[in-house]
Structure 1
Amino acid sequence: MTTRINMNKICQLLDFDADVLLFNKDTYIVSRFKELISENFIHKFYKKTDNTNITVSGIFQNVCINEVNFQAEDITWQSSSEGINCKLLKVGSTNWQAGKLRIKVLTKIISPSTYKESIKLNITVVLEFYPNNPNEPESPLDDIRKMIQAT
């Protein structure tokens, strides 16, 4: 797990797939939660709207602003800055840690080389966890380890 400081709060990037997230009564391991987000995103991105042939991916293929055409290739989507209330159980820890989860979905749109090919989408899901009490030790043994190292 990578830790960084963001917006005056400590952010833990959830990059260890076996950690567990708890939302009210629902639990997910990090890898499965990322997979579900990715699958949902792909489904919505390629979903046809109404009875037309327009897809979300087609909308972003050619964007025109003030008669200037450009192709969208990279788009970052993120959840609200407030985050989603959840708890995190890290592998090796004995306690749940309460905090907020922020989700970022990085999309790379790969334009087709011919008109017969469809747009391809590469998705990366990044989960940022902001603990409510970042000063809590990750393990009850952390305090003992620090005392031993100090002597």
Structure 2
Amino acid sequence: MEDKFYQPNYGDDDVITFNSSEMCKFGRFKQVLQSALQSKLPDTLVEYLEAQGITGTSIREYQKGSFRVENYNRKWFIDGKNCEILSIGAGGWQKGKLRIKFTLEFCPDEPEVEELTQSNDVEINQTESPLDDIRQLMSKDTQ
């Protein structure tokens, strides 16, 4: 099966609905989704990674002038986490940041083909094609 999802480029004033009775602007939906991704999800993600033995994923910063350590796991989705990657065939470790980014993808439903029943025959109603004029001219030339 072919993957027909793509990243839509909808504007903030475009409208989205999930149950056909309530709608919201796409910009508002993106804001709420971004907020959700930066509030609870980062801590849950880090806890899960560390429970699976992938340690060092937490982002903590020490506050100057105090002994407090602040948790900044949301930076996974904003600035990224410092890391080093050793790729096969590379000349060594490459320092950088790894950021988690989510994308919204959309897959339009297939258009329904109208079926017309005439005298026990089923015909498919097709939309006019720009090639119809050329086909008519070609059929006249062959007659």
Classify the TM-score, shorter chain: 0.3 to 0.5
Normalising by structure 2, we get a TM-score of: 0.43
Bigger Rg, structure 1 or 2: 2
- Bigger strand share: 1
Which TM-score applies when normalising by structure 1? 0.41
Higher-helix-fraction structure: 2
Q: Which has the higher contact order (CA 8 A, sep 6+)?
A: 1
